[in-house]
Amino acid sequence: MFVGNALLDIKGLSTVFNTDYGVFPAIKDVNLSLKKGETLCIVGESGSGKTITSMSLMQLLPSSGKIASGEILFQDIDLVKLNRVEMNKIRGKSISMIFQDPMSALDPVFTCGSQITEAIQIHEDISKEEAKRRAIELLKEVGIPHSETIFDAYPHELSGGMCQRVMIAMALSCKPDLLIADEPTTALDVTVQARILDLLNKIKKEFNMAILLITHDLGVVAEMADRVAVMYAGQIVEEADVMTIFKKPKHPYTKGLIKSVPPLHQVDKTLYSIPGNVPTINSMPKGCRFNPRCSFATDLCVEKEPELQKIKSNHTAKCWHINEGV
């Protein structure tokens, strides 16, 4: 469907965290690639390493975190090797990001407009008036009514959905090639969520952007994704196009996750649930990281970690028992 090379290619990315108990890998051997105009969803529960992956990509890790190995090739430039000044030129321009809680991601002491023009003027040498004109245009683009008034409004005067639109306008200000959206609708109500998702789809087409969408909501995944990567305990356990993930999942974790969602069109009082909890960073189980919670686990799973195996082109899963139809 897409021509040309991958826009983003993450190869063997591992990020470690320095904690009081020692150094532990938060994500291990993550491989991802993303083409222009494509939406890739990373789905997983809290603590599975979704956000660490995106933070590593943006080089916004906290001081205790460090990329230990791997490459992040963005338009054939390895982001890991860039210094701070070089990274600043890419961050916010070619790659931009929207965050989970729009209310706290905007600075409360500046107007929405000044925050957008600031983003534009950092990356482009244009006059203040020109930047303002662009900002108002962007606010219109993301569906904000009375955009001239909102330009001078402070974040606390706006609702959550409006703030998220301002965030999106800011992220779009320099026409990025890649938009990272980290749980963009988790803090919003369903009706607002529906409109923000529609907006993301609209601007994706208009700007021909790639979107890396991080979420835990499988409904959002089904609505937005072209491809899906399922993460568990810091590793990608399954990756495929959206149809395959929902209709023919192979990894027991993916299957469990899909079955755990209360179905809307079905009457069945007992829900499927995955026993146990997501392991913490300092107590990763040996072998396959899912084995303590997996009902199909065998001795092999406890002893040895499975590789990410190819099932079909564009469908990989990290499990020993793919072919046995677990």
- Of the two residues 261 and 300, which places its CB atom closer to other proteins in the complex? 261
Quick one: which of 189, 206, 303, 307 contacts other proteins (CB under 8 A)? 189
Site for other proteins in 145-174 (CB under 8 A): 145, 159, 161-162
66 exposure class (CB count in 10 Å sphere: 0-12, 13-18, 19+): middle
C-alpha–C-alpha distance, residues 40 and 253, integer Å: 19
User: How long, in residues, is the chain?
Assistant: 326
Using CB under 8 A as the binding rule, whether residue 263 contacts other proteins is answered as yes
Q: Report phi then psi at 36, rounded to 5.
A: -60, 140
HSE (side-chain half, CA atoms, 13 Å) at 318: 26
Cβ–Cβ < 8 Å for 122, 179:
no
Quick one: which of 68, 82, 278, 326 contacts other proteins (CB under 8 A)? 278
Quick one: which of 149, 208, 260, 314 contacts other proteins (CB under 8 A)? 260
CB of 71 to other proteins, least distance (A): 31
Quick one: which of 223, 296, 298, 305 contacts other proteins (CB under 8 A)? 223
Cβ–Cβ < 8 Å for 79, 57:
yes
Q: In what order do the strands lie in the sheet with 39-43?
A: 95-98, 178-182, 210-215, 39-43, 227-232, 235-241, 315-317, 309-312
Q: Interacting stretch for other proteins, rule CB under 8 A, among 31-39, 95-103, 175-183, 221-229?
A: 221-229
C-alpha–C-alpha distance, residues 140 and 146, integer Å: 8
C-alpha–C-alpha distance, residues 293 and 110, integer Å: 48
Quick one: which of 24, 154, 207, 246 contacts other proteins (CB under 8 A)? 246
Site for other proteins in 27-66 (CB under 8 A): 45-46
For residue 139, which of 111, 155, 116, 108 has the smallest C-alpha distance? 116
Using CB under 8 A as the binding rule, whether residue 193 contacts other proteins is answered as yes
Helix, strand or coil, per DSSP, at residue 187: coil
CB of 79 to other proteins, least distance (A): 30
CB of 180 to other proteins, least distance (A): 20
CB of 41 to other proteins, least distance (A): 11
Pairing between β-strand 178-182 and β-strand 95-98 as defined by DSSP bridges: parallel
Using CB under 8 A as the binding rule, whether residue 272 contacts other proteins is answered as yes
Quick one: which of 18, 64, 149, 277 contacts other proteins (CB under 8 A)? 277
Residues in contact with other proteins by CB under 8 A are 45-46, 145, 159, 161-162, 189-195, 197-198, 216-223, 225, 242-243, 246-247, 256-258, 260-264, 267, 269-275, 277-278
